[in-house]
Every structure is written in C-alpha cells, then in structure tokens.
Amino acid sequence: MKKALLLGLLLLSMSIIIGCSDDDDDDSTSLNQPNGGSSELSMIEFSEVPVPDTEEAQTEVKMSENVTLKFADGTDLSYPLAYTTLFRTGEEVGGDTAGMILDKDGNPLLTSYSDETSSISNYPDANSVLTKDGKHFLITHYEQSPGAVDITELSYDDAEKRFTAKELKNIDFSSVGGTWINCAGDKTPWETHIGGEEDYYLDAYQFDNETRDYMSKHIAYCETDDNGSLTGGYTPPLFDETANYSWWCGYVKDIKEDYLHGEGFTPYNYGYIVEIDTDSNMNTTVKKLYAMGRSTPEMATVMPDNRTVYIADDGGYRGIYMFVADEPGDLSSGTIYMAKWNQTSASRGGSAGITWVNLGHAEESAVKDIIDKNPEFSDIFLVGNPDACATDQGYKIVKAGDPSDPGEGAYKTEMCLKLRTGEDRSGIFTSDEEVLMAARALETRKYGAYLGATAEFKKAEGLTFNPDKNELYIAISQISSSMSDDEGDIQLDEEKAGAVYKLPVGTANDTDGNSIESSYVGTSMSPLVIGEYIGTPDSLGNTAGVDKIASPDNIRYIGHDILFIGEDTGYHINNATWAYNTDTGELRRILTAPIEAEVTGMFGTLEKDNALYVFTNVQHPREDIDDYNAQARRGYVGYFRIPLQ
C-alpha cells in the first residue's frame, strides 16, 4: 500500500469490521448473540452508498447510513455508523507528538515525505489494539521514510462508552537501527503487533559496486559533499545520460545521513516484519523478525495454528511467502517458503496450482550475526552481465526487481547471479551454510527466484483468513506487467483493476517432495472477486467499472460470509470500500472517499461492553489540493463504535 487516495475507504471498511461476540475485551469476530439472546446472527446488511456524481459528494466521505444485524429468530438490529477522531497527526497527546519522525538521537527529522516546515508524518497506517492488565494500547504505524510507530494509551468512559487518547509515545527503534516505511500490520494471537517495513528503496543490489554498470538507479551516482556525505543530488552515468534519480538519492540521504548521521547504515537492516509488544506501563519492546526473511513486506498475518505466517510482498516482480515457525507463538526461528505459480488458466484473473519452494531454515540470532558483518550483495551472489549471462558457468538469470518503482527503467529486472558457495565463497563468510542463511534471509525474493519460485506477482497487498471456508485471501492490486507479459510462470490477461484471490489451505509437500509441517498451506489460487478496467473515462472520469472493485488493498474477513475490500486506486474518481458476500457473491459499496486520501489501519478492533470499536486512520487528506493549508492535510487517527445490543 503506497501513499494513495481514499479517505473513506477504510472508514467503512473499518466500520464494517464489526466482529461481534459478547465477551468483554475480546477482539474475536464471531458476531454471535450481540443482543444477549440465544439466536445466532444469520446476516449482515449495509445500506449502499451511491457513486458520487456531484462536486460536494466527491469531496466528502460518504458512508452507509446504517448496518443491520439479522438473527435467526427474525430479530433485526440496525445502527448508525459514525467516526470519532482520537487525535490528528501533529497534535501533542500527553507529551509526545503524533506522527513525529525522529532521528537516532530522538531529535525531529525532516524527510522527503514531510512538508517544508515540520517533521510530522501525515501517513498513519496500521493499527493494533493490545490489552495489557485491563488497559488498552493503540499501536499506530506511519507509512513514512524513514519510519515511525506510536503507542497510545486509551482511556475509556464507562458512561459514555467512548475512548479518548490519554498518552502517546513515539516508539524508540534505536535498538534495532531504526525502521523504514511502516505499512500495514496485524495483531498476533498472543497479543503483540506485527507489521511490515515496506522497503521500496533500499535494495542492496543498488548499493554494491559490482552492480553499478547494470543500472543507473545506483548509489554510485548519488552526489556527495567534501566529507563523503550524500547531498540528495544525482549525476547520471554515461550509459544513461538522461536519467534523473535525485528523488531516490534523497530517500537514501534521509535514512543514511539524517536519520543515522552516517553511522551503521546497511540496506540489510530494513525490509522485515517487525514485532512490537508493551507492558501495562507503555514500556515497549521491538524486534525485527529476521528469520522470516527480507522483502518489501506490506504485512504479515498469522494462521490459527500460531505457527504459519503469510507475508505479502508489495511492488512489481514480487513474491508471496509462507513462514512455518518451529514453535507456536515464537517467530524467531522457522522455515521460509516462497510460492510457485503453476498456471491452469489465463482469463479473468486466471488460476493456478500453488506449490512451495523451501528456501531453508533460519534463526533470528544467526541472521543478525550476519547483518553485523555488514555484507554486500556481491558477498552472497557473484554478479554477471545480464546481457551476456554465463549460464554454462553456473550463473542464472533472475527477475526479481521492479521497473515501475516509481519510474519506468529505474530498475533492471534481469540479474545474472551465481550463489557464492564452495570455492567462490566470500571471505566474509565462514561456511557455505552461512552463505545460504544470508541468501534465504537477506535476499529472500532473489534467492527464491534463483531456486525456481515465482517472483512475478504485482502489488500483493492485504491478507486475511476465512476460517469458515478454510481460505486465505490476498489482494493483488494490479494484474499487469510481470503478471500479464508472455514470459515466466504468470501469463495472464491484463486486468489493471486487480482482484482479490482465494487460496484454499490444507496439508502439502514442498517442491522437493518433503512434508510441510502445517495444515494451513495454500494449494491453489484463483480470483474471488475481480475488477474491470474500461480505459475510456465515463461521464464522471472513472476508468474502471463503478459497480466493481478497483485496485483492492486493505481486506478483512469478519465472519458470516462478509469480506471487506478497500480500494487504493486511480481508476475510480472516488475510492470505495465494499462488502462482499463470500457465499452469494453479492458486492455492495458501503463507503466512498474524497480524492487525495487513503483510509488505513483496518485491522485494529476491540470488543468491549457489547460493542465493537474499530480503529481506523485517514492518510494525507487533501494532499495535492493547493487550496488547503498544511493543517488540513494532517492525518486522522480514530475509531467507530458499533453497538451490539
């Protein structure tokens, strides 16, 4: 989920995450017996929001007026939906400032995403609500480079049945070398938060002297001052004299010079799933889950066995990963797998059998020891000329880059690589096993592709599990480029508006024939619901069908056959959130958002006092509208309260 467009989309997507049970302080999504009776909930209905067709409607959040819960005994309960703001980015809440970006010494930091006068992020993203000793704490990501995460203690008014923000703290990441673009996330079954470092700009391939002749988006062409520090300027190489990647050099300067002050930077410290915990006094602990591998993770979600974890890899030429932990509730060691797409159909999103390539076992401490050695990409792989790759000498062509991030040609996807084991081993490593550990954990996508896994998925986004059908759902925002060309494993008909795919899960062997120690292994992949790109704008300017999804991003299954789908698209003038019935196939628009905003944080829910509180955020409202001042562009952090009786 890159910064994008819809302010309301998750407002309702979150107001729709109305999982309901009558256990106090339980965030399960059973949605049963909300009226205290014995009758079970049989259906959830939302009033539909029309397509905005006036200037007023297109510049406001439009939500379903009500949600109706229908029970087997014929009882209907209908409730209005409303959004309550806890705070806006830039506000002080009990001491610290919401969304403040800090350097390694705790000082405010101006970044490439900040406005010209502040170090405040307007990009609140993932939410999780953690309950510790009866207290509730909101964890909030900021989708910023460098990154930031806040923790907020919530006060609850028993009479008013409402939350307020009592105290906020900016979480300290100095113990793990900082963080980077904190995107989507989820709560674990053991009451911690996990979220993705969406590492778009720190590919180690672009920082290695051995690769400078193969791409113009490279650290070698970023300008430095007399002290060797990056300035944010760019000088193109002779082989690409029209290139201008000063924007990329600015991002690297943000983290290397301004965030870390030139000390201890390595691209291999970013691009992981991060786990955050707290005690009842807001003393937080932060861990990077190195054993789960490194990519551009949108998010991760844990299956009901507390061992199997799926990871979505955002961008182009990307993978889908599965991690099986050695022990339930402990993600510090386990086996990394990467999906292999075995196509069976090409039309309308296609279909495929899914098999899993075993990348090997990884341990957090061993991976951290390797990072501390400060390896370069060429310590792990020998790098050859992709235009004359010596495949007869053991080199392989690997496609695992992203030419569209964010400019065509910025990244040459074809790499000529050979794993440095045996007599080729770099002196930085003491054994071939250490090389393999580095490959699987630090270069997960490239190593997986090297072994034959599929690195052709385009913008894998949200993940959610449906226990009623035993299916994992994954949002693919666009079926294009690497998924729609005539090369490789995935060769589908193009559908720019994307799709939500379903993966039935069960038991399976890996591609070597060995049993995978999980009952939650995805075995096939096909569209559950798909968009429709129409190209020629309609009378309102939409270039995707308005009665279908476009560019799905946040998704959430809440039970009772209801899947919520939030858009992050440029193909609908107003992005929408949809309620999709996984049994009947009915798709209902339940929210439309203003242009220039994105609604995020849809996984933060809490059940309390016969109501579900759905914590959700609004990113960068009015971001590119010149008529609004910086204060109006500040993000929102808030919630919906859904009464259950």
Within-domain flag for 567: yes
CA distances 551 to 293, 462, 476, 532, Å, are 26, 11, 7, 10
Q: What was the pLDDT predicted at 114?
A: 53
Task: Please state the three-class secondary structure of 203-264 as a single string.
Answer: CHHHHCHHHHHHCCCCHHHEEECCCCCEEEEECCCHHHCCCCCHHHHHHHHHHHHHHCCCCC
Residue 555 lies in a domain: yes
CA distances from 289 to 180, 201, 377, 419, 453 (A): 14, 20, 20, 24, 22
Q: How far apart are CA 11 and CA 596, in angstroms?
A: 15
CA-CA distances (angstroms) from residue 401 to 175, 456, 531?
A: 30, 9, 26
Q: 3-class DSSP state for residue 271?
A: coil
The verdict on 314 and 213 lying in the same domain is no
Both 223 and 299 in one domain: the answer is no
Helices (H), 338-453: 364-372, 377-380, 432-442, 444-450
My answer on whether 478 and 593 are in the same domain is yes
- Cα(416)–Cα(396) distance, integer angstroms: 6
pTM for this model (two decimals): 0.92
Residue 197 inside a domain? The answer is: yes
Do 226 and 345 reside in the same domain of the chain?
Answer: no
What residue numbers bound the domain in which 389 lies? 204-267+376-428
The pLDDT of residue 636 is 84
CATH number at residue 298: 2.120.10.30
Residue ranges for the chain with pLDDT beneath 50: 2-34, 36-37, 404-411
Q: Report residue 353 as tokens.
A: 């059998």
pLDDT of 470 reads 98
At position 81, the amino acid (one-letter code) is: L
CB 31 within 8 A of CB 44: yes
192 and 209 part of one domain? no
The sheet carrying 66-71 orders its strands as 41-46, 66-71, 76-80
Distance between CA atoms of residues 8 and 573, nearest Å:
13
Q: Is the domain of 292 the same as that of 401?
A: no
Does residue 557 fall inside a structural domain? yes
35 and 111 in a single domain? The answer is yes
Task: Provide the pLDDT for residue 186.
Answer: 94
R_g of the chain, CA atoms, integer Å: 24
Does residue 74 sit in the same domain as residue 162? yes
Question: Do both 458 and 361 map to the same domain?
Answer: yes
Quote the number of domains for the chain: 2
> Does residue 32 lie in a domain region?
yes
Last residue of a domain, one of 428, 443, 467: 428
Tokens matching residue 264: 């201890």
Q: Read off the amino acid at residue 466.
A: N
pLDDT tens string 282-338: 999 999 999 999 999 999 999 999 999 999 999 889 999 999 999 999 999 999 999
| Diameter over CA atoms, the chain | 78
- Looking at the fold, whether 302 and 388 belong to one and the same domain comes out as no
Kindly state whether residues 165 and 220 are assigned to the same domain. no
pLDDT for the residue 594: 76
In a domain? residue 175:
yes
278 Cβ contact partners less than 8 Å away, ≥ 6 residues apart: 130, 132, 137, 139, 151, 284, 285
In a domain, 434, yes or no: no
Same-domain check for residues 109 and 258:
no
Judge whether 128 lies within some domain: yes
- The pLDDT of residue 628: 53
Smallest CA-to-CA distance from 11 within 642, 645, 644 is with: 642
